[in-house]
């Protein structure tokens, strides 16, 4: 009975419109190398390719309702964008080999199927994402503090110059 419920849930998830969209995106972006080709658009290619992750994030967060899976999908997508941004077309070459959509699809499929290896991988990537997110928030806070401190220093410097010159 439990196996029958799991198979019904799997069928329902696979019939979902977002799932079909993910399959199509995976086919075009990774199997036909559209992700790598879009990456050649200077300055915008990787940003445009990042939009292909939206159905994966929607499916993992709203349909499956799994925070670890969503974090793992985002981790994979941002890693792909970061590697694609390496200059001098090195990132575009990497995009031919690093197929984030195929990896995201495999993680989602394995998660839906209850594959223990995939679930372990998802949880590891989720922890990595959470740690990176905390580090980034700390760096952002540090940057804000540095900018405020620098702005305050510049203000006091300019104010002292004007006060000494008699303005």
Do 66 and 60 contact (CB within 8 A), yes or no?
Answer: yes
Query: Which position has the higher pLDDT, 149 or 136?
Result: 149
Do the Cβ atoms of 83 and 91 come closer than 8 Å? yes
Nearest partner of 22 among 108, 90, 141, judged by Cα: 108
Tell me the CA distances in angstroms from 136 to 72, 126, 127, 130, one per residue in order. 16, 15, 14, 10
| pLDDT score of 166 more than 70 | no
Q: b vs e for 90-104, b when ≥16 Cβ sit within 10 Å of the residue's Cβ?
A: ebbebbeebbbbebb
**pLDDT value, residue 21:** 95
d(CA 84, CA 99): 11
Structure tokens at 19: 């799932």
3-state helix, strand, coil in the chain (%, to 5): 85, 0, 15
Condensed to tens digits (0 to 9), the pLDDT of residues 24-65 reads 999 999 989 888 888 888 768 877 888 999 999 999 999 999
């Amino acid at each position: 009975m439990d196996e029958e419920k799991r198979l019904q849930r799997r069928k329902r998830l696979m019939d979902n419109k977002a799932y079909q969209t993910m399959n199509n995106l995976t086919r075009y972006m990774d199997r036909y190398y559209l992700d790598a080709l879009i990456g050649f658009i200077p300055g915008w290619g990787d940003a445009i390719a990042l939009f292909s992750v939206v159905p994966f994030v929607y499916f993992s967060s709203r349909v499956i309702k799994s925070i670890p899976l969503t974090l793992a999908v985002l981790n994979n997508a941002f890693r792909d964008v970061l590697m694609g941004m390496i200059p001098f077309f090195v990132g575009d070459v990497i995009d031919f080999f690093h197929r984030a959509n195929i990896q995201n699809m495999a993680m989602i499929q394995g998660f839906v199927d209850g594959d223990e290896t995939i679930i372990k991988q998802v949880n590891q990537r989720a922890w990595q994402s959470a740690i990176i997110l905390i580090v980034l928030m700390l760096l952002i806070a540090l940057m804000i503090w540095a900018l405020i401190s620098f702005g305050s220093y510049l203000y006091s410097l300019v104010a002292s110059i004007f006060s000494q010159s008699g303005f």
